[in-house]
Amino acid sequence: MFVEPPPLAVILAVPQGMSSAINTWTDHSIYVERQQPETSERKTSNPSNSFTSNIPGNISSQHKSEISGAGKNFDCYFKLLEEPESRVEFRGNFDQSVENWQSDDAWLKYRNVRDLVGAYDIDTEDEESPSYIGADDLRLSFENQEGEQFEIIGTLKNSISERTTVTGQGVWITQV
């Protein structure tokens, strides 16, 4: 029996002086406050249109997110609206070292919000479209031991010198 997950709300933290827009997603009543720079020079690419998903089956939810990394580490942070003191974070590390990178224009794609818990490995099964960072974009596909998957795709804020195929792991963390 399928039970509809409760609504989830996410706030992405960004520097002061930026305006916000509310994006509403109907699949799981997800409300995302996405901070946008107030400049016409902002990149407007939409990774959800320019990339195909590696997740088999239907993707039920996707929303913009921010992710950054340096060396072998990367972080992605979210705050839950209904729990103002709680924070959800996906933190991980690569087996390879990658120069400093950041994406303010990334998409987190997943099937069910209940899948966003626990440990995940970077999926290495898809040899035609491996996970990578750079030179101008990123694709990170993750899978846990139960076979649940999600991915993060996006455009880098600033180009880095080379594209690096990555392997590694990460974990969803909730702090109250």
Q: Give the residue with greater pLDDT, 25 vs 2.
A: 2
pLDDT tens digits, 159-170: 999 999 999 999
pLDDT tens digits, 17-75: 333 332 333 233 233 333 333 333 333 344 444 445 555 555 455 656 789 999 999 99
pLDDT tens digits, 145-159: 999 999 999 999 999
Give the SS3 label for residue 169: strand
SS3 helix, strand, coil % of the chain, rounded to 5? 5, 50, 45
Q: Is the pTM of this model over 0.85?
A: no
Map tokens 């340096």 to a residue: 70
Helical H segments across the chain, by residue range: 47-50
Alpha carbon 125 to its chain's center: 20
The pLDDT, as a whole number, for residue 41 is 37
Give the SS3 label for residue 78: strand
pLDDT tens digits, 85-129: 556 789 999 999 999 999 988 888 888 878 889 999 999 887 778
Task: List phi, psi (to 5°) of 110.
Answer: -155, 165
The pLDDT, as a whole number, for residue 116 is 84
